[in-house]
Structure 1
Amino acid sequence: MSPLASRIVEMPSRLISNHEFQEGKFQYLAGALMALMVASYIFQALYNIFLHPLARIPGPWVAKVSANYLVPASAGLHRAQSLRELHNQYGPVVRVGPNEISVSDWRAYREIYSHKASSKTDFFYRDTSLTGHDNIFTMLNKDAHSGRRKLQNQSYSQQAVFDNEALIVDKAKILVRRLSQTGKEPILEKPVNAFALNGLFSLEVILACAFNRHHGDVPSHDAATLLEAMDSTAVAIRTAAALPFLSRAVGRMLPGPIGRSFKQWDLWQDVTQNLLKEFQQHELPLDKTQKFMATPMLVNEDPYLGRRLTQLELVEELMGITFAGSGTTSSTLTYLLYAMSKDMGRQERLRQELRTVAGTSLNEVKNLPYLNAVLKETFRLYPTIMSTLPRILDRPVNIGDHVLPPGTLVGMQNYVHHRDAELFHRPDEFLPERWLEENGNALRIRDMESALTPFSLGPRNCIGQNLAKAELYLAVSNIFGKLRLQLNADMTEWDVEVEDPFNIAPKGRRPLLDVWVLEEERSY
C-alpha cells in the first residue's frame, strides 16, 4: 500500500482519538470547575460558621450558610411566628441568615430604627414601588424621604384630623348601619363578615380625606372595585419582587391567578388615576385650605426635588396612601371586634365608660382609659405590621453581649417583641386590663408603653398614625355604643388565625359576628 493510501486508512482512527482527547479534556475541565465550586461553597460555609463577624451569634446552622433559610416560612405566611420560635430557642439575638440578624429585645428598637443607626434596604423597599417611582414608603434616600414627608405632613397633622372628623364620623355611622344591616332590628337573621365591612370603612375614610369622594350605605362601584383590586394585587407584587426582570406588561399576559393579579394591579392604578383627575377638575379649585390629602401634593413643591410631582409620581403616592391607609386600620379593627366579641363583660365595661361622656366626638373619647386599654391590647396582640422591617446598619450597634457591625441586615418584629413573656404576663391572651394603672402596675406600664411600637418609631414612623387612631376611636365608640356583638357559632379559631404576608391578616378573611342593636338605639 502506498504511503498516501496508508494515511487515508489511518485518518478515521486519528479523528476518533482526537475526539476522545477533546471529550476527555472537556470532562476534566467540567470536573475541575465543579470541584472548584464545591470547594468555594465549603470555604464560604466554613467562613460563615467560624470566621464571619456574626459567627458568635446563635442561630440554626443552616441559616449561617444560606440566605434562604426563612423562605419556606415566608412562603407559608408564618415568618413572624417562626422567628418567635427561634427567639424562644436561641435568645433575644438570633442569626437568621449569613448576614441577617433578628432581635426580640424591645429595648433595642429605638436604636436600630433611628435615622443615625440604620437605613432602609434596597432589595425590600424597591420591590414595593407601584408605578416604577418612589413613594414615601419606599424611599431609601433619607433627604428625599424627608422632603416627601414635609410635603405631606400637613395632611396627617392632628389639626387635619380634627378638620376631617365629620367625614370620619359619617363613615363610622355607615359602618354601624352595615354591621346591623338595618339599624332597627334587635337581632339579625344572618351573621355579618366584619373583615369585609371594616375594609370598606377604612378605604372610604381614605377616599373621603384624600379626594372628598363620598359613598352612601351601599358601597359604590369605585370603592368596591378599588378594594378588590388592592387585595388581589398581592400575588403580582410578590411575583415581581421574586422575578424583577418580569415587567407588568408581560405579567398580565400570564395564565391563571398570576396574570389576573397583574391585571388587578393595572385596574388599581387606573381607578386611582381617575380619582385624581376628577379631584383636579372638581375639588381642587375649591380646596383653598388644602384640607384634602391630594391637594398639598398637587399645588406645593417637593422640597427635595425643588418642583411639583409629576402625574405619575402623584399616582404612585396616592396608590400607596390608599393601600397603607385602608389595609392597616381595617385589620386592627377586625381583630378588636373579634377579641371583644368573645367577652360580653368587657363589652359592657367599655359601653358603661362610653356613657360617661356626652357624645362620641374625638375629644370626648380619646382619653377614656378603658377604650385606650382595648386599643393598646389590640395593637400589642394583633399588630398590623407583624413582620420584619429590615434595616442595614450604618454604624456598630450594641445589643446585649453582641456588637453588630455596619452592613449587617437587622430587623425586629412587632409580633415577637409585643409577646415578650417577661414584660407581658400571659402574652398570648387578650387582656386590656394590663394597661390600667388601677391594677398598681405603673412601672410595668411604662415599660409596656416603650415596647409597644404599632406605628414604628423615629423619622420613618407611620405618617398616618393620627388619622388611624382617630378612625379607631370613632369607629369603636360608635359600634359599641350602639351594638352588641357575639361570635357566630359557625366561627372557628382557624378563621382568625394570624397570617403573615407582612401585614397581619386572618386566614379565613373573617370573623362572622351576630349583631344586636341595643334597645335604646333602635331608632339609630
Structure 2
Amino acid sequence: MAQLLRDRLSLDTVMEKPVLPALGLLAILIIGNTIIKVRFQTIYNAFFHPLAPVPGPWLARISRSYMTPAQAGLHRAQTLRSLHDKYGPVVRIGTNEVSISDWSAYRSIYSQKTSNKTIHFYEDTKLANDGPGNIFTFHSKEAHSARRKLQNPVFSQQAVLENESFIAEKADVLVRRIVSSENGTADVFLLDGLFSLEVILKCAFNRHYGDSPAGDSLTYLRAMDSSAVAIQVRAALPIIQRGVGRHLPGFVGRSYRGWDLWEKMTSALVQGFQANEAAQDTRQRFMATPATMNVDGFLGRRLNQPELVDEMMSIAFAGSGTTSTTLTYLLYSMARDQVRQERLRAELFAAPGHTLGELQDLPFLNAVIKETFRLYPTIISTLPRVLEQSVSVDKYLLPVGAFVGMQNYVHHRDASLFPHPDEFWPERWLVDENAAGSNDKLKDMNAALTPFSLGPRNCIGQNLARAELYIATSRIFTKVRLTLNETMTEWDMEMEDRFNIAPKGRRCLLDVEVLS
C-alpha cells in the first residue's frame, strides 16, 4: 500500500509539472495581448481617429478622462478657455470629445436634428441613483418632449405674469432682509439664494416663508447648495455612488449627505402639496400641479412618487441656484461701480411704473442684465452633446458619434465680438446711433448670448428667471445704495464651475445705505 501511494504521488507530480508553466504562458499571452491592444488603440486614437486632425493636448488624444481633474476641481470652464486661447476655436479634449468656442456654431451644434444629450454626462448626474431621470437629464428626445409638454404651461410667459405678485412679494422680503442686515452689511449671496428658492417654492408648492432668513428654507437652501459638489464629483467619477459618497470624509461626504437631505425635504414638500393643494388648484397655477395631476404622454400615465420627487428636485435646483447667483453677481458689479449704479437708479425712478412689462422696456436695466449674463453666465460649464449628423466647424469635420460641447464662459468672452471681454461694461449693449454697423454688431452679440441655451432643450424656466432679475433689481436699487464691503477680496467672487456658477468664497458682503 505504501508503495502504491508513493507511485501515485510520483505520477501526480509528473503530471502537474507542465501545468504551472502552461498557466504562466497563458498569463503572459493574455497580458501581452492586452498591451498590444492598448498600444494599437493608443496609436489609432492619436493618429488615425476621425478627430486626429483636431488640435489639443497630447494626453487628450489618448485619454477620455483628460478633463476629469478640472471638473472635479470645479474649474473646467476656465481650463477650457485656456485651451482655446492656445489651440483655437476647436480643441480635442478627449479621445472622442471636442470643445468649441466659435459662437456662430452654437445653433448648428444644439439643433434637434444635429445632436442629442450624452448619456455619459446626464445619466451620471441625475438626481437619484439609478433613478427615473427628469426633464433636465432625459437622453430620449421623446421622453423629454413629453415631459416638456407636461410642464410648459406653468413656465410660460402667461404663467409668469399671473404669478408676478408672488415674485414682487418675495422681492420685497429680499429688500427688507437686506435693509435689516446686521451692522448695515448684507451677505447678498445668502439672501439672493433664499429669495430665488422661496420664489420657486411658492410657485411650485404654494409654500410661504416669512421675513426671517431662518428655518426650513435656509436648511433646504444649504442642503441643495452643498449637493452641487457631489453632482460634479459624480459626473467626473461615476463610480462614487451616493451610497458610498455619503460616507466619505470632508466636504465631499458632506455634499452627498446634503444631497440626501435635499431629497428628503423635497419629498416632504411633494407629499404636503398632494395632500393639501393639488386637487384644489383647478387653474393649475402651481408648478407641482401638472406633474402631480396630469398624464405624461411618453409614459402614458401620471408620474409615480420617485419620478415626481426627482422632477421637483430638478426644478428647485435649476430654478433657484442659477438665478440667485446671477443676481448676486449683478449686485456685486453695481456695488463696485457707483456711477453705473446711479445711472440705473435714475432710469428706475424715471420709469412710468415698475411692472414686469414696464421694466423690460428700460434700456440700461436691460443692458445691465445682459452684461451680467455675458460675464457671469447662469450656466458656466459645458452642455455636452453627441452628434447624430456630421458638422463642419472652422476647418474640421466632426463625425457622427463625436462628443461635442460649448460653454457660455468661453464664447461669451470672444474678444472679437466683446472687446475687453473680462470687463463689466453694460454700455456695449446700447445702440450707438452714430456708429457705423452698430446694429449689425449688436445683432451678433445677441446671437452669441446664450445664458439659457437654445433650441428645444433650452431652459424651461427662463421666463421666470428673467422676471425675478427685473423685479428684484428694480426693488433693490430704488430702496438702497450698495457698496462693496472692505473685507471682500477678488478671490471671494471667483467663479466656481459647479455646472452653474457660484462664488468661491460663498459670500458677497455689501454695505447698505437706505435711501431717504
Q: TM-score range by the shorter chain?
A: over 0.9
**Equivalent in the alignment of 2:427:** 433
Q: Quote the RMSD (CA, aligned, Å).
A: 2.4
Match of 2:449 among 409, 434, 452: 452
**Equivalent in the alignment of 1:464:** 461
How far does residue 252 in structure 1 lie from its aligned partner after superposition? 4.2
SS at match of 1:359: coil
Partner Cα separation in structure 1 for residue 154 and residue 133 of structure 2: 19
Deviation readout 1:418-455 (Å, 9 max, x if unpaired): 00011110011000000000367221111000000000
Partner Cα separation in structure 1 for residue 123 and residue 37 of structure 2: 31
> Quick check: 1:388 aligned with 2:344?
no
**Equivalent in the alignment of 2:265:** 271
Cα gap change, 1:272 to 1:134, in 2 (>3 Å):
same
**Equivalent in the alignment of 2:143:** 144
**Equivalent in the alignment of 1:216:** 210
| Unmatched runs of 5 consecutive residues or more in structure 1 | 183-187, 520-524
**Equivalent in the alignment of 1:326:** 320
The aligned amino acid for 2:338 is M
Aligned pairs (5 A) from 1:118-517: 118-131=115-128, 132-181=131-180, 189-219=183-213, 221-241=215-235, 248-249=242-243, 251-252=245-246, 257-438=251-432, 441-517=438-514
How far does residue 216 in structure 1 lie from its aligned partner after superposition? 1.5
The aligned amino acid for 2:147 is R
Cα gap change, 1:93 to 1:238, in 2 (>3 Å):
closer
CA contact (8 A) 2:191 2:213 kept: no
> Quick check: 1:95 aligned with 2:92?
yes
How far does residue 220 in structure 1 lie from its aligned partner after superposition? 5.0
Deviation readout 1:251-294 (Å, 9 max, x if unpaired): 54556555544433232222112212222233234322111111
How far does residue 21 in structure 1 lie from its aligned partner after superposition? 5.7
The aligned amino acid for 2:408 is N
Cα gap change, 1:251 to 1:430, in 2 (>3 Å):
closer
> Quick check: 1:68 aligned with 2:65?
yes
Cα gap change, 1:159 to 1:6, in 2 (>3 Å):
closer
The aligned amino acid for 1:324 is A
SS at match of 1:192: strand
Partner Cα separation in structure 2 for residue 352 and residue 102 of structure 1: 42
Deviation readout 1:122-176 (Å, 9 max, x if unpaired): 1111123223112100111111111111111110111111110011001111111
236-245 or 299-308, larger mean C-alpha shift: 236-245
Cα gap change, 1:291 to 1:38, in 2 (>3 Å):
same
SS at match of 1:468: helix
How far does residue 96 in structure 1 lie from its aligned partner after superposition? 0.8
**Equivalent in the alignment of 2:77:** 80
The aligned amino acid for 1:451 is A
Partner Cα separation in structure 1 for residue 470 and residue 213 of structure 2: 22
Partner Cα separation in structure 2 for residue 5 and residue 283 of structure 1: 89
CA contact (8 A) 2:334 2:340 kept: yes
SS at match of 2:183: coil
| Unmatched runs of 5 consecutive residues or more in structure 2 | none
Deviation readout 1:381-416 (Å, 9 max, x if unpaired): 111211111100001111121111110000001000
Partner Cα separation in structure 2 for residue 254 and residue 433 of structure 1: 48
Cα gap change, 1:501 to 1:53, in 2 (>3 Å):
same
SS at match of 2:40: helix
SS at match of 1:199: helix
Partner Cα separation in structure 1 for residue 231 and residue 337 of structure 2: 38
SS at match of 1:127: coil
The aligned amino acid for 2:168 is V
Partner Cα separation in structure 2 for residue 225 and residue 5 of structure 1: 80
Cα gap change, 1:55 to 1:243, in 2 (>3 Å):
closer
The aligned amino acid for 1:49 is A
**Equivalent in the alignment of 1:114:** 111
Partner Cα separation in structure 1 for residue 234 and residue 393 of structure 2: 35
How many residues align structurally?
A: 511
Partner Cα separation in structure 2 for residue 13 and residue 342 of structure 1: 91
CA contact (8 A) 2:119 2:139 kept: yes
Partner Cα separation in structure 2 for residue 259 and residue 373 of structure 1: 41
Cα gap change, 1:229 to 1:134, in 2 (>3 Å):
same
Deviation readout 1:326-384 (Å, 9 max, x if unpaired): 10000101111111111000000000111121332111111100001001100001112
216-225 or 250-259, larger mean C-alpha shift: 250-259
Partner Cα separation in structure 1 for residue 503 and residue 248 of structure 2: 28
Cα gap change, 1:215 to 1:478, in 2 (>3 Å):
same
Cα gap change, 1:437 to 1:309, in 2 (>3 Å):
same
SS at match of 1:314: helix
Cα gap change, 1:421 to 1:197, in 2 (>3 Å):
same
The aligned amino acid for 1:145 is H
The aligned amino acid for 2:505 is G
How far does residue 194 in structure 1 lie from its aligned partner after superposition? 1.0
SS at match of 1:504: strand
SS at match of 1:233: helix
Partner Cα separation in structure 2 for residue 34 and residue 297 of structure 1: 53
Partner Cα separation in structure 1 for residue 246 and residue 102 of structure 2: 43
Cα gap change, 1:80 to 1:243, in 2 (>3 Å):
closer
| TM-score, normalization by structure 2 | 0.93
CA contact (8 A) 2:377 2:409 kept: yes
Partner Cα separation in structure 1 for residue 248 and residue 101 of structure 2: 40
**Equivalent in the alignment of 1:47:** 44
The aligned amino acid for 2:70 is A
